[in-house]
Amino acid sequence: MRAIGWDGGDIVVVDQTLLPAEQTFIRLRSTAEVIEAIGRLRVRGAPALGIVGAYGVAQAALAVVTDHPKEVLRAAEEAGEALKATRPTAVNLAWAIERVLGKARVSRVRNPEKLVDLIIEEAHQIRLEDEEACASIAKHAHELFEPHSVVLTHCNTGSLVTGGIGTALGAIRYAFESGLGIAVLVTETRPLLQGARLTAWELERLKIPHAVVVDAAAPSLIARGEVQLVIVGADRIAANGDVANKIGTYPLALAAREAGIPFVVAAPTSTVDLTVASGSEIPMEERDAAEVTLILGAVRTSPAGTRALNPAFDITPAALVTAIVTERGTARAPFKRSLGRLRNVSAPGDVRESTAQVVSPSPSRNGKASRSSKASRSSKASRSSKASRSSKASRSSKASRSSKSSRSRR
């Protein structure tokens, strides 16, 4: 399934707020509609935000009727600024917008239509590269999975939010499809239930055994030895390896450290932001209190007027992170060095050589060798946990102007 598409100037996305009840594709026809969709989390997840942000800029450029390339650029920049302001934490959004704008700014193209084509092509390229990145992340992450283990993941990181199979969920899928016989515990991910609604929906379609747990249950299940690996995505990774991800990630990392199991982050290098030194510099989105006091806008859980805090993300300090798996390889501590090398490699040919130099050797198949012995105390019996047993419990002018392939359906 392709969750994000481009159709003659419309951005076509699955409305994630309607899942799992219905799978409905919606058309975003203007910057205002894209902003609304991002703000309401109809489209969400760091890589998807990047792809949609880039298409949003392309759409604004395409909508301009002009003979002057500067006016195309101005419209693209205005849309880019408005789109960047929608969600501050996921760096992929600003990264992708700046990438398409940068391409247009340095271009010597004098023909406005050709400039628009160039912007659209760059947006397609971002989506394509994300698809490829997902596949590479999955391959690099494979060695971190143990056969017949239980893997815990948070939020939603699959094909709904990327150009490909997903980041953490893509790695899980690849490990499962390679025959490792793994099962998955999925945290609900309060307050908007991305885990319960979206990850469970994706896993069900993939026929991967899974069970949903309330967020509060996860740390004690990890402590009981019921989980062998925690793998999550990221919204922004600082230069020192601190990770911003969906609220509730940090307690999972603490529990994983205490239990001596690996805590792994899977993300494309577009999520690595070397301009921020540490997590304390990452802007953290605070969302509407009503997301906490009402369940999905429908059922009131607190008296009317109750105050609520709703931080959308938390920071997991690098010290709790076992490995960060990117499309260019796996980074381990010290992250400043390993991430810097991975993020700065540009040519695919350079990647392997660089990766080989900077990535610390894995201490064992799953990284446990350097950790406490607690993990090894978890018996095989606990590994065939409940998750594996409960697999089933589970515009007018713009469209007509656009005859070029980059403007049409992709």
> Please, are residues 330 and 367 in contact by the beta-carbon 8 Å criterion?
no
Please select the residue that binds ligand MRU; options are 246, 257, 341, 368, rule is CB under 6 A: 246
Stretch that binds ligand MRU, among 24-32, 40-48, 171-179, 328-336 (CB under 6 A): 40-48
Q: CA-CA distance, 337 to 114, in Å (whole number)?
A: 40
Catalytic residue among 130, 235, 242, 273: 235
231 SS3 class: strand
Binding mask 204-243 toward ligand MRU (x if CB under 6 A, else -) reads: -----------------------------xxx--------
Q: Which stretch binds ligand MRU (CB under 6 A): 159-167, 177-185, 390-398, 402-410?
A: 159-167
How many C-alpha atoms does 238 have within 13 Å on its Cβ side?
22
Q: Minimum CB separation from ligand MRU for residue 343, in Å?
A: 17
Is 191 among the residues that bind ligand MRU (CB under 6 A)? Answer: no
Q: Say which residues have a Cβ less than 8 Å from residue 400's Cβ, sequence separation at least 6.
A: none
Residue 47 lies near ligand MRU (rule: CB under 6 A): yes
Backbone angles phi and psi of 7, in degrees to 5: -135, 90
Closer residue to ligand MRU, CB minimum distance, 115 or 231: 231
Q: At residue 401, what is the residue type? A: R
Contact by Cβ (8 Å): 62, 31: no
DSSP H stretches of helix in 162-267: 168-175, 200-206, 218-223, 249-259
Closest to ligand MRU by CB, 45 or 260? 45
User: CA-CA distance, 164 to 202, in Å (whole number)?
Assistant: 13
Of residues 41 and 109, the one with the C-beta less far from ligand MRU: 41
The binder of ligand MRU chosen from 90, 172, 184, 351 (CB under 6 A): 90
Sign for the CA dihedral angle at 167, 171, 172, 176 comes to positive
Say how far apart CA 387 and CA 392 lie, in whole Å.
Answer: 10
Q: Does 127 bind ligand MRU (CB under 6 A)?
A: no
The one-character DSSP state at 329 is E
| Binder among 54, 79, 138, 161 for ligand MRU (CB under 6 A) | 161
Q: Which two three-digit tokens encode residue 390?
A: 């409960």
Is 17 an interacting residue with respect to ligand MRU (CB under 6 A)? no
| Nearer of residues 173 and 407 to ligand MRU, judged by Cβ | 173
Look up 235 and say whether it is catalytic: yes
Q: How many of the other CB atoms lie within 10 Å of CB of 147? A: 12
Minimum CB–partner distance for residue 170 and ligand MRU (Å): 8
Residue 88 near ligand MRU by CB under 6 A: no
Q: Is 53 in the site for ligand MRU (CB under 6 A)?
A: no
Rule CB under 6 A: is residue 248 a binding residue for ligand MRU? no
Rounded CA separation 209/320 (Å): 27
Positions marked active-site: 235
Q: Which residues bind ligand MRU (CB under 6 A)?
A: 41, 44-47, 90, 155, 157, 161-162, 167, 194, 233-235, 245-246, 312
